[in-house]
Structure 1
C-alpha cells in the first residue's frame, strides 16, 4: 500500500486526502488545528463553489451539506454610476447546475472528522520545513497544501506568470443574518457582484454557516482608496458598521436590504490582503527530498473572481487522477512537473481572467458588461464563465472577438 503525506487541511488537502483514502492509499494528514478548533475559529473564506467543483465533491460523496446550503441559481452584476446610482444591473442564470457556499468552518471540521472516522491518520502539528525533511523519508509522496507560512518559501515565485508583486485589493468579509432578498429576484438566490469604478467591488453571497442560512458581505478595495479602511480593526461590530457604511455610500441598493443585519457570530469577520502569485510546483527539502505543491501553494489568485475554492477542488481532482494513473511507479520530479502542468491547463485560464479583472477594464469589456442588461444570453454566458473560465478566451480578452460575439447576439 502506497503511503502519502498531505500537509494542510483546507479544501484541496482534505479533498485529496479523502479521495486517496477512498482508493486504498495509506494517507497521513497534517493539520495545524483540530476539527473543534476549526469549527469554533474565525471564518476563513467566501467559498462560493460552482457546478464543476461541486461535482468533484459529489464524485467522492463528500457533499454532506448540499441539501442544507442555499442553491445559488445565478450571478448578477451591478455597476455604480454617477451619484451612486446603478449604471448597469443584470443577472445571468447558471446553465450547468447551481452553485453553493458552505462556511469552511463547517466543511473542514466535518471532513476532518470523516477522515479520522474512515481510519486516516491525523497529525495535529504546524509543520515546518525541518519536519517535512524528516517525514519525507517515510512516505512515497509528500503533498503540501498549506498555503501560508514557512512551507510556501520552498516554492519559488514564477515571475513569468506573476505580473503583480503587491496586493491588488484590500479584503474585508462579514457573515451576517437578516439580509433581505434582492427585490429584482426575490424568488431565487444569486451571487451579486457590485463594481464601483476606482473604488473596488462588493460581493454579496448566500451561504450556509454554523447557525444556518446566512449571507456574506465581501468588500474588495483598491489599495489606498476609501474601501481600504479595515486595517487595524479588531472589533467585529466595528468591522460590520464600516462594511455597512461603505455599502450605503457606494452601493445603496444593497444597503437597502441590510437594515436588520447582524453578525452570525463573533468569528464572522475577516480582513487582509495578499499578492496574486504563481509559484514553481516542486519544493526541495534540505535533505534532498522533493515535495509537490497543491492549489493555493502554487497558484494563488485574488478572490475577485471567486475562484479560490473552485481551483482548490479542481486541483485536488486533477492531482488525484494523476496519482491513480501513476500506479506503483516512483513519484519523481518529472511526474511532479507533469502533474502540475496538467492542472495548469485549467488554472491558467483562472489566472489570466482574474488578473484581467484586477486591472482597469478596457472599453470592449465595459461594453460587454453593459450589454448584459440588453441581452440575456450575454449575461448568462458571463455568469457561466465563473464555472468554466476557459470560455472567456472566446469573447472577453480581444476587442475583435467581443465585437463579433455581441454582433452575433444582436443579430439573433
Structure 2
C-alpha cells in the first residue's frame, strides 16, 4: 500500500486525501487546526463553486451539503456609470443584466465543509496529524512516504516553491479584499425568485460581489469588496472589530452600489468570525519544492497557482487540481513519484489552470473597449449574458470570443447578421 502525506486541510488537500483513501492508499493529512477549531474559527474564503468543480465532489461522493446550500442559477453584472460615482446614493448603473447558468453553482462556508471532511477522513481510518508543519518537519517525513504534497497555501512552506516569473505578471497585490457573511439581505427586486451571484463593477474603484451561501448557522449571503489598493475601498486595514468591518462595508455600499445597499439595510453578521480582510499578489510558482536534504515535494492548488479572487475561481481551481492530481497518482501505479512525474502532473493541471490565470489577470486590468462592448451587449442579448456567466464554470471558453477584438467583433456580428 503506497503511503502519501498531504500537508494542508483545505479544498484541494482534503478532496485529494478522501479520493486517495477511497482507492486504498494509506493517507496522512497534516493540519494546523482541529475540525472544531476550523468550525468555530474565522471565515476563510468566499468559495462559490460552479458545475465542473461541484461534479468532482459528486464523483467522490463528497457533496454532503448539496441539498442544503442555495442553488445559484444565475450570475448578474452591474456596472456603475463613471460620471455618477460621487457621493452616497448618487451612483447609478449604466449596465445591469443576469446570465443564466447551465448547471447551478453553490457556496458552502469552508468552516462547514473542511471540518466535515476532516472528520469523515478520520472516521474512514485516515491518519490526521494536528501540527503546523515547517520545512524541517517535511524533511523528516519525506523519507517515510512515497509522496509528499503541500496543499497549505500560506506560511513558510510556500517559500520552497520558486515564483514562475514568466507566468506571474504581477508582483504586488492588485486588490484589497474584505469579506462579510451576513443574515437578513433582501432578495434582488429584479429577480426575487432566482438565486444569483451579483458582480458589481465600479470603474476605477473596485468590485462588490454578493453571493448566497451556506454557513454554520444556515443560509446566508456574502458581501465581498475588492478594492484597488490606495483607493476608497482600501479601508479595512487595521479594523479588528467585526461590527466596524460590517459598518465600513455598508458605508461603501451606500456610496458606490446603492442598489445593493437598498437590500442590506437590515443585515447582521452571521457570527463573530464572519469577517475577513487581506491582500496577496497573484502568483504562479514552479510545482516542485526541494527540501534541505535534497528530497522533493509537489505543490497543490494555490500553493502553485494563486489567482486573485476577482473571478471567483479559488475553490473551483482547487477542486480541479485535486481531481487532476488524483488521476495522475492513480495512473502512476507502483512507479516512483519522481521529479519528472511531479512536473508532468502539474503540467496536466496547468492545461486547465492556465485559462483561469489568463482570465483573472485580464479582469484585474482596466477593461479594453471590446470587453466593455461585450459586457454592454450582454444587457441586450441574453445569449451573450449566458455565455459570460457560464465562463465562470469553464474559463477556457473565453479564448473563443473574449480576449481579442477581432474575435469579439465576430461573435457579436453573428447577432447583428441574424
Query: Normalising TM by the smaller chain, what interval?
Result: over 0.9
TM-score (norm 2): 0.98
What's the secondary structure of 2:372's corresponding residue? helix
- Following TM superposition, by how much is the alpha carbon of 1:188 offset from its aligned partner in structure 2, in angstroms? 1.1
Aligned to 1:18, what secondary structure does the other structure show? helix
How far has the Cα of 1:409 moved from its partner? Answer: 2.3
Q: Structure 1, residues 231-277: CA drift from partner, whole Å, max 9, x if none?
A: 00000000000000000000000000001100000000000000000
Deviation at 1:169, TM superposition (A): 0.1
5+ residue gaps, structure 2, are 85-90
Residue of structure 1 aligned with 2:100, choices 93, 96, 102: 93
1:354 aligned residue: 360
Query: Cα offset for 1:411?
Result: 2.6
Q: 1:164 aligns with which of 170, 179, 183?
A: 170
CA distance, structure 2, for counterparts of residue 410 and residue 377 of structure 1 = 13
1:121-152 CA distances to partner (integer Å, 9 max, x unpaired)?
Answer: 00000000000000000000000000000000
Aligned to 1:254: 260
Task: Report what 1:16 is aligned to.
Answer: 16
Partners of 1:317 and 1:410 lie apart in 2 by: 41
* Per-residue deviation, 1:48: 0.1
Q: 1:283-362, aligned counterparts within 5 Å?
A: 283-362=289-368
1:173 aligns with 2:176: no
Instruction: Supply the distance in 2 between the matched residues of 1:356 and 1:335 (Cα, whole angstroms).
Output: 31
- CA displacement 1:349-392 (0-9 Å, x = unmatched): 00000000000000000000001100000000000000000000
Report what 2:221 is aligned to: 215
Contact 1:136-1:142 at 8 Å conserved across structures: yes
8 Å CA contact 1:377–1:409 kept in 2: the answer is no
Which of 264, 268, 272 is the aligned partner of 2:274?
Answer: 268
* Rounded Cα–Cα distance in structure 2 between residues aligned with 1:388 and 1:410: 26
Report the Cα distance in structure 2 between the residues aligned to 1:69 and 1:333, rounded to whole angstroms: 40
Runs (4 or more) in structure 1 with deviation over 3 Å come to: none
C-alpha distance after superposition, 1:89-123 (max 9, x if no partner): 0000011x100000000000000000000000000
The separation in 2 between residues aligned to 1:319 and 1:372, in whole angstroms, is 36
Q: 2:74 & 2:117 partners in 1: Cα distance?
A: 27
Aligned length, in residue pairs = 411
Which residue does the alignment assign to 1:145? 151
Tell me the secondary structure at the aligned position of residue 388 of structure 2: helix
